[in-house]
């Protein structure tokens, strides 16, 4: 079976006691596709018989490959006619890289389809549901919907806002510092925390940083070991000061490097950097800050269908992105260390907020202890649609 375990005989098949239990299983399957299916959404599917016994399951495993519903149907250990399909996202109704899943579901003779959430994409958005109902299939929408929406948050932002979903990551000491007053920062977090960061990098389309971080740390910004994706290393560099002997340039053949500069960069320098295998994009400069314009940068990344982008930068860039309501998710690692010192460096600068009721909050937050480090992750509640400005 493709991507699932053998379900065995009917006597040993798992039985689900409720719609939410079956959908929870489908959500768990869908998460296996994270990092492999983008810019498509991760989707999981479960098929049960009239008694709620598991017939088949599957998930969307790779971009361009069969969708979850089709995988589940192909994995069926017995007749599915008259059964119920649980799927985390509305079945598609259009011809893309694969035929419409709604048609496959209808042809299989299923009597009911339970859907986690509707597809936000304009070319679907209810049309799959309409096609199923028109064929006489009973359709229920909204089972475990908060979890289903959380699962497709990055896909939804790309579809609806044409922008990448931004993950902010930093490691800091107990007193909230990412480096000492002498700029020492290796290593604040422990080995286990750093391994989580590499896993995170491995499912990103891009890793975004500023030239200040590159000049200070000479980072590599790759996933080690390699994950399902090879992220593009993205540098905001107004005057194109990226050192020619930097690790980023030296490894440009192994993982792409994309630099956004402005017309303040010399044409000769652009040609020199491009000759070393780095892609250079010249974008507008923000007239107020004299920095790379973030609107142009994020719009271009969205145009390139970058779904998830990780921010690994200093406090200036990260603070600006949070000020301007661009960050969607936070990954913060807190080490049980205290640096102290008035000149020690904070993870988030920018303008900040004046009162606690203005402060951005997390939702769906998770806290883990990693060999002493504390890992906090969650969605950053945005005040509204992006109001983008400058770096």
Residues 216-227 pLDDT 10s: 999 999 999 999
When pLDDT is cut at 50, 70 and 90, the band that residue 13 belongs to is confident
Asked whether residue 92 carries a pLDDT value surpassing 90, the answer given is no
Helix (H, G, I), strand (E, B) or coil at 88: strand
pLDDT at residue 97, as a whole number: 63
Structural domains in the chain, sorted by start = 19-157 (3.40.140.10), 162-381 (3.40.430.10)
CA–CA separation, 64 and 60 (whole Å)? 9
Q: Is the peptide bond before 323 cis (omega within 30 degrees of 0)?
A: no
Q: Of 232, 189, 181, 239, nearest to 215 (Cα)?
A: 239
Q: What is the pLDDT at residue 1?
A: 41
Band (95; pLDDT cuts 50, 70, 90): low
Report the C-alpha gap between 308 and 369 in whole angstroms.
Answer: 25
Percentage of the chain modeled with pLDDT above 90:
79
* Element containing residue 336 per DSSP (H, E): none
Residue 94 has pLDDT above 90, yes or no: no
Whole-model pTM over 0.85:
yes
User: Which residue shows structure tokens 């993870």?
Assistant: 347
Annotated binding site for substrate: 185, 201, 224, 312
Please compute the mean of the pLDDT values over residues 80-89 and round it to a whole number: 96
Q: In the structure encoding, which two tokens stand for residue 86, read together?
A: 């649980």
Answer yes or no: 279 catalytic: no
Q: Give the pLDDT band of residue 287 (cuts 50, 70, 90).
A: confident
pLDDT band at 358 (very low <50, low <70, confident <90, very high): confident
Instruction: Using the CB atoms, write b or e for 72-93: b if 16+ within 10 Å.
Output: bbebbbeebeebbbbbbbbbbb
Q: Does residue 290 have a pLDDT over 90?
A: no
Going by the annotation, the residues of the binding site for NADP(+) are 171, 187, 213, 217, 221, 314-320
> Quick one: angle between helices 127-134 and 101-108, nearest 10?
20
Which band of pLDDT confidence, cut at 50, 70 and 90, is reported for residue 283? very high
Nearest to 238 by CA among 287, 201, 198: 287
Alpha carbon of residue 296 to chain centroid: 20
pLDDT tier at 96, thresholds 50, 70, 90: low
Neighbours of 145 (CB within 10 A): 15
336-356 per-residue burial string, b: 16 or more CB within 10 A, e: under 16: eeebeeeebbbbbbeeeeeee
Quote the mean pLDDT of the chain.
Answer: 91
Residue 308 three-state SS:
strand
Q: At residue 123, does pLDDT exceed 80?
A: no
Confirm if 206 and 232 have CB atoms less than 8 A apart.
yes
Sequence-ordered strand ranges (E) for the chain: 44-48, 54-59, 84-89, 112-117, 138-141, 165-173, 206-210, 232-236, 257-261, 279-282, 308-311, 329-335, 362-370, 373-380
Segment 296-344, tens digit of pLDDT: 999 999 999 999 999 999 999 999 999 989 999 999 999 999 999 988 8
Provide the pLDDT for residue 90. 94
Count the neighbouring beta carbons within 10 Å of the beta carbon of residue 294. Answer: 24
* 8 has a pLDDT exceeding 50: no
Q: Please identify which of the residues 57, 69, 90, 147 carries the catalytic annotation.
A: 69
Residues in the chain: 391
């Amino acid at each position: 079976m493709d991507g699932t375990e053998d379900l065995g005989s009917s006597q040993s098949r798992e039985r689900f006691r409720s719609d939410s239990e079956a959908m929870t299983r489908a959500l768990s399957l869908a998460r296996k596709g994270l990092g492999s299916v983008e810019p498509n959404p991760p989707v999981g599917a479960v098929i049960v018989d009239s008694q709620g016994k598991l017939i088949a399951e599957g998930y969307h495993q790779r971009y361009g490959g069969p969708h979850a519903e089709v995988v589940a149907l192909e994995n069926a250990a017995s007749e599915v006619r008259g059964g119920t399909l649980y799927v985390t996202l509305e079945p598609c109704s259009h011809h893309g890289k694969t035929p419409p899943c709604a048609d496959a579901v209808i042809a299989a003779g299923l009597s009911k389809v339970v859907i986690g959430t509707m597809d936000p994409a304009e070319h679907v958005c209810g049309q799959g549901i309409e096609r199923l109902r028109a064929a006489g299939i009973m359709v229920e929408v909204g089972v475990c919907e908060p979890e289903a929406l959380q699962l497709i948050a990055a896909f939804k932002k790309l579809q609806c806002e044409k922008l990448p979903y931004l993950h902010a990551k930093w490691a800091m000491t107990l007193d909230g510092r990412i480096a000492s007053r002498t700029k020492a920062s290796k290593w604040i977090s422990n080995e286990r925390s750093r391994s989580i960061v590499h896993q995170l990098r491995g499912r990103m389309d891009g890793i975004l940083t500023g030239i200040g971080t590159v000049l200070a740390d000479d980072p590599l910004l790759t996933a080690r070991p390699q994950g399902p994706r090879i992220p593009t290393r993205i540098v905001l560099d107004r005057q194109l000061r990226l050192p020619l002997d930097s690790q980023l340039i030296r490894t440009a053949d192994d993982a792409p490097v994309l630099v956004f500069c402005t017309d303040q960069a010399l044409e000769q320098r652009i040609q020199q950097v491009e000759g070393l295998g780095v892609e250079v994009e010249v974008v507008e400069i923000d007239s107020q800050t004299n920095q790379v314009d973030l609107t142009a940068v994020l719009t271009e990344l969205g145009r390139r269908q970058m779904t998830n982008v990780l921010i690994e930068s200093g406090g200036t860039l990260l603070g600006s992105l949070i000020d301007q309501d661009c960050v969607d998710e936070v990954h913060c690692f807190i080490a049980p260390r205290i640096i102290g010192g008035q000149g020690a460096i904070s993870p988030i600068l920018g303008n900040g907020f004046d009162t606690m009721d203005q402060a951005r909050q997390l939702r769906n937050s998770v806290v883990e202890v990693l060999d002493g480090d504390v890992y906090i992750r969650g969605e950053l509640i945005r005040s509204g649609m992006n109001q983008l400005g400058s770096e």
